[in-house]
Amino acid sequence: MRRILAITRKEFIHIMRDKRLLGVILIMPLIQLFLYAYALSFDVKHLPTATLDMDHTATSRQYIDALQQSNYFTVDNVLTSYSQVDGAFESNRDKVVVVVSSGFGNDIAAGKAGKVQVLVDGSDSTGAQLGSAYSSALSRIFGAKIAITQAEQKGYNVTSAGGLTASVRTWYNPEGVSAAYFVPGLIVVLVTMITVLQTANTLVKEKENGTYEQLIVSPISRIELMVGKIAPWAFIGALDIVVIAVVGILAFGIPFRGSVWIFGISSLLYVICTLGLGLIVSARATSVDSANQVAALVSFLPTFMLSGFVFPLSSMPAALQFLSYFYPARYFMTISRTVFLKGGSPAVLMPQVAALAVFAVIIVVLAASIYRERA
Amino acid sequence: MTDRTPLETAIEARGLTRTFREVTAVDNVSITIPRGEVFGLVGPDGAGKSTLIRMLATVLAPTSGDALVFGHSVVSDPHAVKPRIGYMSQAFSLYGDLSVQENLDFFAELRGVPRSDMAARSKRLLEFSGLTEFRTRQAQFLSGGMKQKLALAATLISEPDLLFLDEPTTGVDPVSRREFWRIISGLHRQGITVFVATPYMDEADRCDEIAFMTQGRIILRDTPAGMKERVPGRVIEVAVSDHREAMAVLRALPCVHSLEVSGEMLRVLVAKDAGECECELRDALTAAGFAVGHVTPAATDLEMAFATLIPTAGAGESSDEQIPAVGE
């Protein structure tokens, strides 16, 4: 115990005396939080939009005004013929072209759905997807509104009048604010990066400095050394989780609906996984450079790609989906998002927590055996 | 195995061998070192000195063979060995960002120095290594000599019975080197066994016994005086103007065994039975037109012993000692 504490104390001195490292641990997560939350925002607003009104009625103008006022579209280009559509896309000026077909006004007046064509620039897939979703939803709501107005004027029941009501509702994140969706995921990514990278470095650095030999001629077991070395990083990992969560809640107004206990326990399990992973890298690596590279490979990439952080797992090829089950980030990602945004009962989260626990045990046993074999 | 090792023995190596891929760094070394001795390991770079020390200090596992340190096997029972030994590696091996005091405290804690003893021991070590006034300085800002003294102090904090020193004074100024050896002499008087690898013959001269190591093998072992006696011949010191030209002339003489330059002098090894060789040397040089100063018999030194006793066959192709990362 005394030896473990000696190592831990020494590690803390290293950390406290390394200004750059302190920055990486404490400042960088916050910078990344703001960077990701703003720059990686998947909210599409003010899509540059061109309109082509082939109807030229009061109703069609009303529709285009509604687009303009919706905040999602910025009508900056009014086309006069269909042949100009290509030009609008090619010049990269517009992402969306909304074509109001002739007869739009009459159809609405007749109680039928008005025909609107929405063309999107498929080269920007996110913008395209959302652009078309927004405009069709808008069109339907608009269509319904017109229908209602007309129906009221004509004095009969709306539901029987053929007017459409599109109801799109995003649960748990009703405004569709990306920040809310990102912060819980970002916690996972940042904590993975910091803990894996730093622990991967810690032993290799000692090897490069020649201090490792001094450690192993001392009567300290590998397991004691391992525990002493990861203890500070477990603390820092936990600290980072708390800081990002608090800033996320205060600065981005994200909710925390679930159990603090479940989140705490799974954070702990997850950090054990990442620290163990870092130690394994550190034991195998031959230089600080290679340790960094391998650590980035096993931490950043899978957490980014295989956890559902950026790309929904359900839309991945089956092979990658399968692979994602073998990486603990997936489970912690689900837990983090659930406890922040949904709440989630212990019964629902239990399988995820159990998976993390299994991983933690496997990784610790693996790391310990690697260390023992090198005694 | 354990009970047959006499108590007076500090190290008993049997067939110790270590290979790195195809290179055999240490080749079947068997050696017994009595307690309380200062034992010097001398050999060219790449001879395998560091590898041998690292195996004896439990840092590196032998490929084959074993060594008993105070009766405990470094292979099967390294944890019984570790508390008894101190090891100072060739490279500076302390934490540069920790202060002198913090380094000492860390190693004291790590090696289980009783808390009640810690303060007194580190105070004593700081005093005798002359580091007291630098106690709060970060180790990375110490001079080379001070770093080595701190490393030694950190090694000594657990009061080991056996000290492994791997070229402890390489890159250290002469004054610090002398001071360092004064400390080692002090340890010797306390009965601590010291196993030191050194490239310096003047340091080897201070050891009780020395071993010549080359190409992974220990080829000779004797006291420094014994080593000098083994030199086949006697040394004549010649003061002459142009060393290089003069050497060519002398080498051509049948009685000359070998030559070396030592400061302003040429040291010439001549066969023991060569009789009155001095005149022959002087005459040859004078005949060749050199201004010759004194030509006098001199004592054999270790440098000469080293040069003549180590077979020259492999000297040119001494393979670089491969020291891979720890734990490989």
Two tokens, residue B156: 């000594």
CB contact under 8 A, B58 and A217: yes
pLDDT digits (tens, 9 = 90+) for A180-196: 677 888 888 888 888 88
Q: Is the pLDDT assigned to residue A91 strictly greater than 70?
A: yes
Model-level pTM? 0.72
Pairwise CA distance, residues A56 & A320, whole Å: 51
* CB of B107 less than 8 A from some CB of A: yes
Pairwise CA distance, residues B190 & B36, whole Å: 8
Kindly report which listed range (A321-335, B40-54, B61-75, B208-222) carries the lowest average pLDDT score. Answer: A321-335
Residue of B nearest to A221 (CA): B79
pLDDT digits (tens, 9 = 90+) for B270-322: 877 766 777 778 888 888 888 888 888 888 888 888 878 876 544 433 344 43
| Run of H or E including B258 | strand B256-262
Annotate B263-298 with DSSP letters as a single string.
Answer: TTEEEEEE-GGG-SHHHHHHHHHHHTT--EEEEEEE
Q: Is the pLDDT assigned to residue A314 strictly greater than 80?
A: no
Burial B13-41 (b: 16+ CB within 10 A, else e): beebbbbbeeebbbbebebbbebbbbbbb
Cβ–Cβ under 8 Å, residues B28 and B17: yes
Residue B70: list chain A partners with CB under 8 A.
Answer: none
Average pLDDT over every residue of B107-115: 90
Cβ–Cβ under 8 Å, residues A337 and A313: no
Domain ranges for chain A, please list them: 2-41+176-374, 47-160
* 3-class secondary-structure state, position A92: coil
Pairwise CA distance, residues A226 & A228, whole Å: 5
The residues with which A142 forms a beta bridge, in sequence order, are none
* CB of B86 less than 8 A from some CB of A: yes
Nearest-CA distance from A14 to chain B in Å? 7
Strands B217-222 and B234-240: unpaired
Average pLDDT over every residue of B218-238: 87
Average pLDDT over every residue of A197-208: 85
CB contact under 8 A, B327 and A212: yes
Residue A3: list chain B partners with CB under 8 A.
Answer: 109-110, 112
CB contact under 8 A, B78 and A218: no
Nearest-CA distance from A3 to chain B in Å? 5
pLDDT at A149: 54
CB contact under 8 A, A213 and B112: no
Fold for the domain defined by A47-160: abc type-2 transporter like fold (3.40.1710)
Percent of chain A with pLDDT over 90: 6
In the stretch 138-157 of chain B, residues with CB closer than 8 A to chain A read: 154
Q: Which residue type occupies A193?
A: M
Can you tell me the ipTM of this complex? 0.75
Two tokens, residue B62: 């032998």
* CB of B244 less than 8 A from some CB of A: no
CB contact under 8 A, B107 and A214: yes
Token pair 């891979």 in the structure block, residue: B324
Instruction: Look at the alpha carbons of B70, B76, B79, B85 in this order and tell me if their dihedral is positive or negative.
Output: positive
Q: What is the DSSP letter of A272?
A: H
